[in-house]
Structure 1
Amino acid sequence: MQKRQLGPDGPMVGAVALGTMNFVGTYGDTTPEDALRCMSACLEMGVDHFDSSNIYGAGRAEELLSRFLKDHGDRVVLASKCGITRRAEQPFDNSAAHMREALEGSLRRLGVDHIHLYYLHRHEVARPIEEVMETLLAFRAEGKIGAIGLSEVAPATFERAQAVGPVAAVQSEYSLWTRQVELGMLQATGRSGTALVGFSPVGRGIFARELPDPATFGQNDLRQGMPRFSPEHWPHNLKRLQAFRSFAADLGESPATLAIAWLLSRGPQVIALPGSRSIAHMQDNARGAMIDLSPQHLDQIEALLPIGWAHGPRYGAAMSVGPQAYC
């Protein structure tokens, strides 16, 4: 697998990373044993950057990951996050006290004394990003984290943070059906050499080998609250997706492979962050970092799925609180 740098001074990691949210019931159930087998298979594929958060499964994702790190921690570049509380009265808390409590909890659950990359998961709007950066820089000075990341922020917030200290990575949703980052964040990270870690590059499963059926989503499936899967919008999206799937088949590739390869073509700083419980799905994802799409192929993809093609917003009202909008 090709390697990409995790920030200007960061380590080289596989261009495809592994998100661990899927292992704790976000899109359906799995067993710890299946999750651990998937992690092992990913590492052998060259996927060596594992991403988690203190809120995934209320800490269960980090606890599960700790079991894998006991034997393979020396081969994994580890990322986690803080800043979301899940409290209705205060969903985001970027205070130094809360962030320190979250960090100590993550270190304990992960069974480590150092996290290579630590993200602010969501920015608390009322708290200046400069203050938050000072807290993260203090964690780094203490040796508890190696590098600082920001998640779902606007380019202006990123640039203010950069003025205080180095930001190694920005994590944003980025795929063929969610391209807001091309309105500033892609350019900003390209200028600074900051890694742009695109999560949900397979579009919440729409580019998997089997198209999802929204009618079968379980009660706890995160996609239940996403308008693009609603009866109003899904039929329109399905037509475009079927055309893309036919194109992928003509090339002899899975839709996921093609979607990942497209994402990685957007810039040398881009890293794909899919999450999956399936070894087969991760094989498709990893292959996306092993093929190069020609300019003609990229033009054909753009014609099939032009920017702005998706019907419906990516999030409903509840989930839209937190990610920073821009442009």
Structure 2
Amino acid sequence: MKTTRMGPDGPEVSQFGIGAMSFAGIYGDATVEESHAVLDACRAAGAVHIDTSNVYGNGRSEEIIGAWFAKTPGARDEMHLATKAGITRGGERRFNNDPEYLEERLDGSLKRLGVECVDLFYIHRYDRTHTPEEVAGSLKRLIEKGKTRAVGFSEIAPSTLRRAFAECPIAAVQSEYSLSTRAPELGMVQACAELGTTLVAFSPVGRSLLTDAPFSYERGQSHAFLASNPRFMQPNYDANIAATDRFRALAAEMGEPAAALAIAWCIAKGSLPIPGTKNTAHLKELLRGAEIDLTPEDIARIEAVLPVGWAHGDRYNATQWEGPERYC
């Protein structure tokens, strides 16, 4: 398993992680047994990074991971555990980075996970009522209290990262990054490289579009997030399937699953992809991506069939864009 350093002075971790949102039934129900089988397979493959959040299933994802740690001796010591907070449920504020709120939510996560400390605690969404320096100061105090070993942000701008980093080392920034979402290349990739911050890439297979079995239009419409997501609405959906058919054909020509090729591309670009799945067969395809060493010629072929800007429709609709920082 390829490895990377988590943050400028952090530990070496696998350059592939499991995104645990799927455990909470976001794209269909996942049983505890299915989720635990995925975690078992990740551990066996040396994929040690687990990435979850307190809002995934209102804590269900964390509870499933905590139950797995409880029944799997030695697993907690081997795995690199990350969770997030900052998105509220109900009330007037959608996002809250108040120091007391973050610590309270982290305490809840620690209880559900059955641990005294996580390895990485992210701000899930930056709350602009605070400065980046103020939020980073709050995160630094959580490190000092021994509740997390390192801290990060999700969906922020490079300028926010630099300001926060000046107050406290930021180990990771989580951003959507894949062959279908290349915006991080316009500043975030560069800022992370400059600071030694790890770029954690969520949705690295484009919410199934970059796999051999993309969601059907009907299945997409059955999930609340995808039903109103521009890339999964007509006529964009049909156009995106036609565009990614070229990628699937290239993957077949190269003798690899499309999902594996998408993961390999993310790793070649220096990011740590965290795909989500509840299916061990699909996980095997994803893990294969961590074994592929793409040549410059391979990358050029991939980017020729899926050039920058190929996708039809924005990655988020207007409501989904509330919270993430746009920077270009």
Place the TM-score, normalised by the shorter chain, in its bin.
Answer: over 0.9
CA distance, structure 1, for counterparts of residue 187 and residue 221 of structure 2: 35
Mapped contact 2:158–2:188 kept (Cα < 8 A): yes
Deviations 1:33-86 (A, max 9, x none): 111111101111111110110000001110110011122111111000110002
Given that 2:211 and 2:248 are in contact with CA atoms closer than 8 Å, whether structure 1 keeps it comes out as no
Structure 1 partner of 2:39 = 39
Give the Å deviation of 1:216. Answer: 2.3
Post-superposition offset of 1:187: 0.4
2:128 — aligned with what? 125
Alpha-carbon separation, structure 1, partners of 2:299 and 2:91: 43
Q: By how many angstroms is 1:158 displaced?
A: 0.2
Matched, 1:299 2:300: yes
SS in 2 for 1:56: coil
Structure 2 runs not aligned, ≥5 long: none
In the alignment, what sits opposite 2:53? Answer: 53
Once the two structures are superposed, what CA deviation does each residue of 1:153-211 show, in whole Å capped at 9, x if it has no partner?
00000000011010000000000001110000000001111100000101101122312
- Asked if structure 2 preserves the Cα contact closer than 8 Å seen for 1:264 and 1:271, the reply is yes
Worse overlay, 102-111 or 209-218: 209-218
AA paired with 1:295?
Answer: P
1:138 to 141, 144, 160: 141
| Distance of 2:273 and 2:106 partners within structure 1 | 25
- How far does the alpha carbon of each residue in 1:61-112 deviate from its partner, in whole angstroms, 9 at most, with x for none? 1011001112211111100011000225210000011111101111111111
User: Aligned AA for 2:320?
Assistant: M
Partner of residue 111, structure 2:
108
Tell me the alpha carbon deviations over residues 119-159 of structure 1, each in whole angstroms, 9 at most, x when there is no partner.
00000112111111111111100111100111000000000
- Conserved? CA contact 2:220–2:232, under 8 Å: no
3-state SS of the aligned residue for 1:13? strand
Give the whole-Å Cα distance in 1 for the aligned partners of 2:266 and 2:305.
Answer: 15
Cα displacement (A) at 1:221: 4.4
Aligned counterpart for 1:181 among listed residues 172, 175, 184: 184
Letter aligned with residue 63 of structure 1: E
- SS for the counterpart of 2:89 is strand
Using the alignment, how far apart are the partners of 1:116 and 1:123 within structure 2?
20
Structure 2 residue aligned with 1:311: 312
User: Contact 1:78–1:115 (CA<8 Å) still a contact in 2?
Assistant: yes
Which whole-Å CA distance do the structure 1 matches of 2:222 and 2:290 have between them?
34
Aligned mates of 1:122, 1:181 — CA distance in 2: 16
Highest RCO, 1 vs 2 (Cα 8 Å, sep ≥ 6) = 1
Q: Distance in 2 between matches of 1:130 and 1:321?
A: 21
- Structure 2 vs 1, CA of residues 211 and 219 (structure 1 numbering), >3 Å: closer, same or farther? closer
Check the 8 A contact 1:28/1:221 in 2, yes or no.
no
2:209–2:240: 8 Å Cα contact kept in structure 1?
A: no
Q: Structure 1 residues 318 and 88 mapped into 2: Cα distance closer, same or farther (>3 Å)?
A: farther
Are 2:66 and 1:63 aligned? Answer: no
Task: Give, in angstroms, the shift of residue 219 of structure 1.
Answer: 3.6
Percent identity over paired residues: 44
Q: Report the count of equivalent residues.
A: 325
Once residues 34 and 187 of structure 1 are traced to their aligned partners in structure 2, the CA distance between those partners, rounded to angstroms, is 37
What is the rounded CA distance, in whole Å, between the counterparts of 2:164 and 2:276 in structure 1?
A: 27
> TM-score, with normalisation over the residues of structure 2?
0.97
Other-structure match for 1:151: 154
CA RMSD of aligned residues (A): 1.1
CA–CA distance in structure 1, aligned partners of residues 287 and 13 of structure 2: 13
Q: Tell me by how many angstroms 1:293 deviates.
A: 1.1
| SS of 2:142 mapped into structure 1 | helix
TM-superposed CA distance for 1:218, in Å, is 5.7
| Uncovered stretches (5+) of structure 1, i.e. residues with no partner | none
Q: 2:19 — aligned with what?
A: 19
d(CA) in 2 for partners of 1:161 and 1:170? Answer: 11
